[in-house]
Homo-oligomer: A and B are copies of this chain.
Amino acid sequence: MDEVIADTTAGMVQWYKKHFGGDIDYTKMLAGGSLVKGFPDEHQEQVRQQLFAAGFFRHLPVMANSVEVLEEMNKRYEVLIVSAATEFPNSLKDKFDWLAEYYPFFTWQQLVLCGKKNMIEADFMIDDHSRHLQYFKGKPYIFTAPHNLNEREYDRLDNWKEVGEVFLG
């Protein structure tokens, strides 16, 4: 969900600019391997706390073209939205409501909220973190995010148009 269909980085940058107004260093997200590291050192704790706040995940922007591509994929595949969410207990209901609002064609049966993803059995997995892809027994794809640009281990999908080309032909 985060950084694949939900633009968590954009949502955090919006929140940060409203509250602190400073500059974001996307190259530091890459070096640090997480979005939090892209924010000025003195505000990283507040940024991290925002991930735990009720409401943060409820209004994140959707990734461009993800709705149309997933609506079509949902007709041809058994699609699951698997989100590493239990680290952030206040995100659970927000993620459910967010998915229902922006992707109304998905049912509650298609959402999985978990911690690790190593118990998920499927044919394909699209994720922004190699830590979730590394145990996956199907075909893994890394979805491009500022923090994973140096990852070379997996086939890469840069955006949802590319996902559509791969999965919808």
Q: Are the C-beta atoms of A112 and B114 separated by less than 8 Å? A: yes
Q: How many copies altogether?
A: 2
Q: Does A30 contact B (CB under 8 A)?
A: no
Residues of B within 8 A of A109 (CB): 86, 115-116
- Which chain A residues in 75-93 approach chain B with CB under 8 Å? 80, 82, 86-87, 89-90, 92-93
Q: Does A166 contact B (CB under 8 A)?
A: no
Contact residue among B87, B90, B96, B115 (Cβ-Cβ distance under 8 Å from A86) = B96
Q: Nearest CB to that of A113 among chain B residues?
A: B113
For chain A, the bracket of interface size reads 20 to 34
Q: Are the C-beta atoms of A108 and B115 separated by less than 8 Å? A: yes
Whole-angstrom distance from the CB of A23 to the nearest CB of chain B? 32
Q: Does A27 contact B (CB under 8 A)?
A: no
Question: Contacts A86-B96, A96-B89: A107 and B115 contacting too (C-beta < 8 A)?
Answer: yes
A residues touching B (Cβ–Cβ < 8 Å)? 80, 82, 86-87, 89-90, 92-93, 96-97, 107-116, 119-122, 137
